[in-house]
Structure 1
Amino acid sequence: MRAPYGLAVFRSIGPILLVIGIALLAELAISPTLPGYYVKVLTDVGIAVVLGVSLNLVNGFTGQFSIGHAGFMVVGGYVSGTITYYGHYLLWGGIARQGGFLGPSEWLFVAGALAGGLAAAVAGFVVGLPSLRLRGDYLAIVTLGFGEILRVLVQRTDDVMYVAEDIEKASVGQLATSVGGALGFTGIPFLTNLFWVAIAVGAVLVLSYRLKHSDQGRGFLAIREDEVAAEAMGVPTTRFKVRAFVYAAFFAGIAGALFAHEVGTTLNPRELGFQKSFEIVIMVVLGGMGSISGTTLAAVVLTVLPELLREFSQYRMIAYALLLIAMMLLRPQGLFGIHEIWELPPFRRRKAR
């Protein structure tokens, strides 16, 4: 029996309206009342959630093992940063912010973030199409190599940044390769705020949940459980794995754009190397391979905890490694496994006897 038309419409647009409402609340009511430090922590938490949940599409849903997710952050961050930095000079003669909330600068940022996400998705397709025919350790090596290659290429770009009087004389190629080199991309406008972070978090959570419970998502999970059996049942395994890789890369590119435009950030490729990719993998493994809520909770904990233990920050990677070893020994499926937190016994409604 079909649901009433009004209920069906609400199920379609309800989550979208909820995400927009929460985003507006975060920017207009919460952000002005908090010190800048706490706003930055919330921003970092949101970016971590986008990264963790997006990688979960590959490592959790399809059971592949990618450890180069930060490479797609590099693509999204540098593409969006190039668009907003040089776009401000070309349109307004400088990088000064134009307008306030939802002003011209922010819409340029949205265009740059979407372009960064699409560029990362294209990179995900180019890398994923040949490499996802591999499995296990071989795929991990390929994705790790991709991330490191990107990092090295960015470090070798021109460290000279063009300014207003030189931009019109430079070609598109010169602008695209003048992004700070090993010194980092400085001067990117600080346009990331809690509104856009909440929009990105809401989008990745809603789309991941709907994907998980769709026919395509069930195909992803079938690949995870037994790829040979899934292929025998008619699931296009390579196509579905590439799709998961492209979806994940797109959201990693969006996260890279948010990171690049965060207050106090200098976009440096050294910050987006293997260590960053490893941190994202930890979020997925700790929360549960395939669990959206578990990965979200792990991303929040692993972002907030270093802030609480800042004096021990130099031991962070040691702590992550020990945590990963303990999780693999005691609960290899992660905190929630493939289940969501509301599907676990303490939260499940008891059926009427």
Structure 2
Amino acid sequence: MDASAARPDMGALLRDATVASVVAALLAFPLLGFQLDASAQGLALNVRLIWVVYAAAAVFAGRLVFSLGGHFLAPRISARFAPRVRAKPAVPGLTRFYIGAGMMALALVLPWLPFSDRNLIDKATLILIYVMLGWGLNIVVGLAGLLDLGYVAFYAVGAYSYALLSSYFGLSFWICLPLAGLFAGAFGVALGFPVLRLRGDYLAIVTLGFGEIVREVLINWGELTGGPNGITGIQRPSFFGLPMVPATPGGGVTFADFFGIPFSPYQRIIFLYYLILILALATNLFTMRIRRLPIGRAWEALREDEIACRSLGLNPTMIKLSAFAIGASFAGFAGSFFATRQGFISPESFTFIESAIILAIVVLGGMGSQIGIVLAALILVGLPEWFRELAEFRMVAFGAAMVLIMVWRPQGLLSHREPTLRLGVPKEGGA
């Protein structure tokens, strides 16, 4: 190989890095270049050009390193590992099994680890909520191939269903939980009928509008939903009728009295953690099982080719409605748990950014990959909760992560999916 061909054109690389840094500076100037400071005289607008310089320098260095690395390393890596990647999947089934088993074991013993505290359990509970939502949306997007940008609407329906039934009728969490899933599933069917003929971008726009309609109804129907003020004093769940409180007004038996242990607020935190863990594992088990049933195979057939699906005698109308209904039901279950955990809900908890985060978890983890969704939830939800001091850069890091994953691994972190049906290979000499 010619030596001159192996040397990179440094002038072109420097010009490319310079252009990238200038563009980054222009974009960073309105985002990072200004800061509002409060003082005795009021608010003062200060210019922070040094942050713009830092951003431009980081982009310049990163672009230059990326270009040089691609020039020198990409051909060697491709030549070294391309045959091996083609020969077997990136994550073998046994490895995925070990990853899943390890995650489940850690989740089961997490509250009892020496370094575990209330803050850690609260963050783990929040992550499990998004894992459950991601698994529910994975039915609609990953299996059926229907792009849904209004998934948070079903989440809100489940939360408000439980809050209203509990507040007005005094029903317990265990009675309201299936009802919340039923109401959310009914809303999923109601959304499915108008979008039966839509695909792709048009479907995404309609579902986005549906999510905003639900939020506006919650805001303006103040007599029922409390409007922007939301609903407070939502009933907490009990352990088979045993409330987790210091004492009941009527002198009934509490959770601590029944088991003969001192009361601690930490008991309710652990109970809620295991409750959402059970709900999430039930969602995962149901999804894995239904993929192997005829309805699950019909979802995947619809995702691959709707015309071919029709030619096989399948009914796309019922397939789409079933996907919307079942996916929405899991969002309703998660919403009811969110309401009982918070004790307060308002429309501000169900904005479009929630739908975007849930969809990003599904896409980042790999559509159809159950373990990938867990990893994506840890990254997109867990990391921002741990590094709250960098909250002002959260959306910047969020966007950068999505861009990088789409450039380097568009199929997701763990995109490999086991086939739902394997065709047997006939033996030699057989019929």
Q: Do structure 1's residue 182 and structure 2's residue 246 form an aligned pair?
A: no
Q: 1:33 to 1:87 in 2, by over 3 A?
A: farther
Secondary structure of 1:336's aligned partner? coil
Gaps of 5+ in 2: 1-100, 238-270, 419-431
How many angstroms apart in 2 are the aligned matches of 1:252 and 1:220?
19
Aligned equivalents of 2:158 and 2:200: distance in 1?
26
Gaps of 5+ in 1: 1-17, 92-107, 159-176, 341-353
Q: Relative CO higher for 1 or 2, CA cutoff 8 Å, sep ≥ 6?
A: 1
One-letter amino acid of the structure 2 residue matched with residue 253 of structure 1: G
Name the stretch that deviates more: 130-139 or 144-153.
Answer: 130-139
| 1:81 matched residue in structure 2 | 163
Distance change (3 Å), C-alpha of 1:81 and 1:65: same
Q: State the Cα deviation string for residues 187-219 of structure 1 (Å, max 9, x = none).
A: 113437123212210111000001122222111
Asked if 1:273 is matched to 2:359, the reply is no
Q: Residue deviations 1:105-159, cap 9 Å, x none?
A: xxx112112111110000000111221321001111111111101101111122x
User: Is residue 211 of structure 2 the alignment partner of residue 147 of structure 1?
Assistant: yes
Partners of 2:330 and 2:372 lie apart in 1 by: 18
3-state SS of 1:261 partner: helix
1:299 paired with 2:377, answer yes
Paired position in structure 2 for 1:211: 290
Compared CA separation, residues 222 and 256, structure 1 to 2 (3 A): same
Matching residue of 2:181: 117
Tell me if the contact between 2:231 and 2:344 (Cα under 8 Å) persists in the aligned partners.
Answer: yes
In the other structure, the counterpart of 1:54 is 136
Residues 83, 34 of structure 1: CA spacing in aligned structure 2 closer, same or farther, 3 A cutoff? Answer: farther
In structure 1, the residue matched to 2:146 is: 64
Quote the residue 1:312 is aligned against.
390
Relative to structure 1, the CA distance from residue 300 to residue 213 in structure 2 (aligned partners, 3 Å threshold; closer, same or farther) is: farther
Partner AA of 1:184 in structure 2: G
Distance 1:25 1:326 in 2: 33
Q: Which has the larger radius of gyration?
A: 2
- Give the TM-score normalised by structure 2: 0.61
Percent identity of equivalent pairs: 38
Instruction: Give the alignment of 1:15-26 within 5 angstroms.
Output: none
Shift of 1:26: 6.7
- Aligned-partner SS, 1:189: coil
Q: How many residues align?
A: 283
Paired AA for residue 173 in structure 2: F
2:321 maps to what in 1? Answer: 242
SS of the counterpart of 1:262? Answer: helix
When residues 332 and 182 of structure 1 are mapped into structure 2, their CA distance, relative to the original with a 3 A threshold, is: same
RMSD, matched Cα: 2.6
Cα distance in structure 2, aligned partners of 1:193 and 1:261: 9
TM-score normalized by the length of structure 1 = 0.74
